[in-house]
Chain A
C-alpha cells in the first residue's frame, strides 16, 4: 500500500492552532507550507462524517494558511487603493461599498490566473484574502505593480477560522450578537471578549457560513467557544475539499493556474461587465479575445462538471474521452458523500462541453461513463437575507 499524495519540502510552518488541532485528534499533513489538519480522529472524525456534519449542522475549519493582506493609500484615501488594484484584476473595486466583498482574480498580461481572491472594502482599507500556497508570489506581484504610495500589510499574526453549515448563522449570532445580520458577501468588525474580529459571511463549502479573522493570541479561546456549542465540530482539509468540489468551486493550483483564463474557467461572472469594455487591467486584451471566442463558439476548452456512475472516482490528471478521441482532462475529482457517486471537474473541448453530453474518463485500464453536469453539483445555500 502506498499513498500517492505528494509533499512539499520541509520546513513546515505551524498554525496558531497547531496544539489545539492535535489535542482534538487531528491528523496533520503538509499543505501550502503548513502542517494542517486533514481530518480528525475519534467518534465524529473522518472526512465523510465531517463533510456530512457541515451539510447538516456547522463545522469549524482552520484556514489560517491563507494570506490576509490589506491595501491602503498613504494619504488615507481608500479610493486610490481601489483604483490601483483595479489595474491588476477584472472586477469593479472602486464601486465596492464599505462592508461589501467581491470574488476576483489576479491576472497575468496574457490573461492567466495568478490567484483567485476575495476583496473587501473594510472602510479604512481594502482587505484581500489570497490562497495560502501562492500568497508569497501574490505579495511579490502586488508590491511590484502597485504604486509605492499604496501600503501593503500582511496580517501574518492573524488566524482565519471558517464556520460553515446551515446552523452557522444561529451559532455565531448566539456567541457574537449582530453577526446574524450579515448577508452573503458582506462583512463587518465585531468585538468578542476584548478581541476584534473581522467577520465575513462567505466561505468555500457552498453552505451558509462565516470566515472570522482573529488575532493569533485569541484564536484558541474563540475556537474553544465555538466547539463548546454542540452544533459545531471541527473539520479538516479533506472535508473542505470534498465540500468545495460539490459546490463547484475551483481550487487554485488544480482547476486554475497561470495557463488558464477566466473565460475557459467558466468564471465570467468575475469579469465586471463595465470593465470588459473599458479595460485597463492586466490580461484585458486576452480576456476580451476569449469572451469573443465564447460568443462565436470558438472557445477551445471550458471547465465543466462531470457526474460519474458507480463508485470508482476519477482523480486529477485523468483523461476525458469522446469515443476514441481525447477531449479533456480532469483537474479535480473525488467521491461525493452527499450524492453517493463520484464527481469531477474537467477542462473539456467546448464541442463536448454541453450539459448532458456523455463522455468517458480513463482510470487505469477502465473507461468510466461520465455525464457533463451543471455546477454546483449540490445547490448553494447562501444566506441572502430574510
Chain B
C-alpha cells in the first residue's frame, strides 16, 4: 500500500481504487491541540489542490487540500467525538476521509516518504 505526501503536509494511502487522506505528524505538531475537524460530505467532488477539509486548532482554522481529484466516499466518524485523534495518531487512526482516484497520473507529482522527510527537514 503506497503512501504519498504533498507539500501541504497531507498524506494519501492508495489501496486499489480508493485513497485515504490525512495530515502528517509534522502538520499536527505545527497546529497544536486540534478541537474540531470539518470533513467533506460523502459524495463531494474534490479537485486536486482545492479545499477539502478544515482543521480547527485552539489557535486557528487551517485548510486541508485534496491531494488528488476524486469523490469522497467516507469521512472518519471517530473524529467527530475525538478530534484529538489527529494529534495522537495523525497518520493512522486520525485519518480524515476516503476518496476515489479520479486520475492515477496525479499521483506522479506527489512525494514518497523519503522525499517528504527531506522536504520537512528543509523547512
Contacts and interface: CB of A to CB of B under 8 A. Distances in A.
Interface string A309-346: 01111010000000000000000001101000010000
A118 interface: no
B102 interface: no
Interface stretch (B12-20, B52-60, B69-77, B106-114): B52-60
Nearest to A2: B63
Contact of A311 (B10, B31, B83): B83
Nearest to B30: A3
A238 B32 contact: yes
B61 A313 contact: yes
A310 B32 CA distance: 20
B62 A312 contact: no
A372 interface: no
Contacts of A3: 30-31, 60, 62
B60 A1 contact: no
A47 interface: yes
Given A3-B30, A313-B35, A313-B36, A241 B59 contact: yes
Contacts of A5: 59-60
Q: Interface centre among B27, B59, B61, B65, by most A CB within 10 Å?
A: B59
B56 A1 contact: no
Contacts of A335: 35-36, 56, 58
Interface residues of A, number: 25
Interface residues of B, number: 25
Contacts of B38: 312, 364
Nearest to A237: B59
Q: Interface centre among A1, A46, A310, by most B CB within 10 Å?
A: A1
Contact of A334 (B31, B54, B58): B58
A236 to B, nearest CB: 10
Interface of B: 8-10, 23, 27, 30-33, 35-36, 38, 54-65, 83
Shortest 4 CB-CB distances between A and B: which pairs? A335-B35, A311-B36, A47-B58, A48-B33
Given A3-B30, A4-B62, A335-B35, 16 more contacts: A2-B62, A2-B63, A3-B31, A3-B62, A5-B59, A38-B59, A39-B32, A47-B58, A47-B59, A48-B33, A238-B59, A241-B59, A311-B83, A312-B36, A337-B58, A342-B35
